[in-house]
Amino acid sequence: MYEVLTSTLIESIAEHKNVDPSDLDIVIADYVDLAAVEKLGRRDNSTWRLQFELPDHSVAVHSDGRILVDDQIQQNWKSD
């Protein structure tokens, strides 16, 4: 089962592509280690940025909660 960050990441990519997450034509785990993403997301005491490439898209996840796909903010994975 995905944790908050990875599920929000997948939702963000699907939203950007205007599809349901279950209809994504790529497997995100083929491009980034989702367990490592979750581990990074639990690092509350540091500032970080993770960027990776998907076919035709660039994705960036920031420690402040922003998820950007092709430089457009999609969602915030941190709860308020």
Q: Domain boundaries in the chain?
A: 4-76
Question: Tokens 């035709």 correspond to what residue?
Answer: 56
pLDDT tens per residue, range 58-70: 999 999 999 999 9
Q: Please write the tens of the pLDDT for every residue from 1-51.
A: 358 899 999 999 999 999 999 999 999 999 999 999 999 988 888 899 999
What pTM was computed for the model?
0.86
pLDDT given for residue 79 in this prediction: 64
Q: How far apart are CA 48 and CA 69, in angstroms?
A: 17
